[in-house]
């Protein structure tokens, strides 16, 4: 059973971003599956690294799209990305050093952050960018 289920409610109505969000949902679910199946550290490390790398890619793409279309709240949006990136990189470092475990608390944090970020912050740029012809 997936931890996060993609629904139309999560759509920002921008194909490129929705596709990236769906990939993030899949990666969170892959990590959750690896945790619940008690996979070894090598598998968890691989999936965590992929999630971290793709999250950074997504944030860069999303910010570039907003900058290209002069989204007025980019300066408010970007720090949310930076904060999550900092937290996840810190966790990744601790995990790689054997000082932290991937557990349900972390999984729920990732799920809640992604869903709340999409529904709260990302939905705000949706109509603006759609109005600029981005779909």
Question: In the chain, what are the domains?
Answer: 12-129 (1.20.120.50)
pLDDT, averaged across the chain: 94
**What average pLDDT does the segment 100-110 reach?**
90
**What average pLDDT does the segment 6-24 reach?**
96
pLDDT at 40: 87
Cα–Cα distance between 30 and 73 in angstroms, integer? 32
DSSP, res 13: S
pLDDT at 131: 93
pTM: 0.93
Tokens at 34, concatenated:
């690896």
pLDDT at 92: 92
pLDDT at 71: 97
Largest CA distance in the chain: 48
Tokens at 5, concatenated:
């289920």
Instruction: Give per-residue pLDDT as tens, 17-52.
Output: 999 999 999 999 999 999 999 998 899 999 999 999
Question: Does an H or E element contain 110, and which?
Answer: helix 104-116
Cα–Cα distance between 55 and 53 in angstroms, integer? 5
Tokens at 128, concatenated:
């603006």
pLDDT at 1: 83
């Amino acid at each position: 059973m997936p931890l996060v289920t993609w629904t139309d409610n999560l759509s920002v109505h921008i194909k490129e971003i929705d596709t990236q969000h769906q990939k993030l949902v899949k990666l969170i679910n892959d990590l959750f599956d690896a945790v619940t199946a008690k996979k070894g550290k090598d598998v968890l490390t691989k999936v965590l690294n992929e999630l971290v790398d793709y999250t950074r890619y997504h944030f860069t793409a999303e910010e570039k799209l907003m900058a290209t279309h002069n989204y007025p709240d980019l300066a408010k949006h970007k720090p949310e990305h930076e904060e999550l990136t900092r937290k996840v990189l810190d966790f990744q470092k601790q995990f790689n050093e054997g000082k932290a475990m991937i557990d349900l608390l972390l999984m729920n944090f990732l799920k809640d952050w992604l869903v709340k970020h999409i529904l709260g912050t990302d939905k705000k740029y949706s109509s603006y960018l759609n109005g600029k012809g981005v779909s």
